[in-house]
Amino acid sequence: MPSVPLAATDGTSVDLSSLPGLVVVYAYPRTGIPGIENPAGWDLIPGARGCTPQSCSFRDHFEELKTLGVNRLFGLSTQDSAYQREAVDRLHLPFPILSDEHLSLTGALRLPTFQTNGMTLLKRLTLVINDGKVEHVFYPVFPPDRNASDVITWLSARVSLRGNRALVQPRPTG
């Protein structure tokens, strides 16, 4: 991971490259605000809809992710932190959302984006980072509300594989 500090909705600055252990970051285009219309043509953009169900799925599976060894969980979008805080509060997310409003991390990792209504938005993906190194990428993510379950399935297999390796004893040589 490149060293790119990002503003978080909890008021901190997070550098994903420096976080120890297992970190999951799910990226999404943007959340809407109830009562405010989505950008024109939003429903016609493949993969644009589903940010709230994706976030709620990670919220609902937060404890399970922690039992599988996830030290930190973050959402990520190109919206600013003030806008993102509304979603964190409304959806009761037990984890912060990171803002890449200046596209610093997006550019450094060459994350997939799309343009609409004057905005550059992230395409939906999920990064599994281990000690500052990307271990796995989920892309494309569809359907959005199944993303957390897909991550749990992958992490469960990872834990199982590592557990099985621990059971295999090296053969003595000589």
Over residues 44-94, the pLDDT tens digits come to 898 888 899 999 999 999 999 999 999 999 999 999 999 999 999 999 999
Distance CA 127, CA 149 (A): 14
Distance CA 153, CA 130 (A): 17
In the chain, alpha helices (H):
51-60, 62-67, 81-91, 104-109, 147-167
What is the model's pLDDT at position 129?
Answer: 98
- CB-CB contact of 106 with 77 (8 Å): no
Q: Give the residue with greater pLDDT, 16 vs 40.
A: 16
Q: What is the dihedral of CA 16, 28, 127, 58, to 10 degrees?
A: 100
Mean pLDDT computed over 141-167: 84
Asked whether the predicted pLDDT for residue 174 surpasses 50, the reply is no
Q: What is the CATH number of domain 5-167?
A: 3.40.30.10
Distance CA 37, CA 56 (A): 20
Can you give the residue ranges of every domain in the chain? 5-167
Asked whether the predicted pLDDT for residue 173 surpasses 60, the reply is no
What is the model's pLDDT at position 162?
Answer: 73
What is the model's pLDDT at position 34?
Answer: 86
> How far is C-alpha 41 from the geometric centre of its chain's CA atoms?
25
Cα atoms in the Cβ-side hemisphere of radius 13 Å centred on 18 = 7
What is the model's pLDDT at position 164?
Answer: 53
Mean pLDDT computed over 94-122: 97
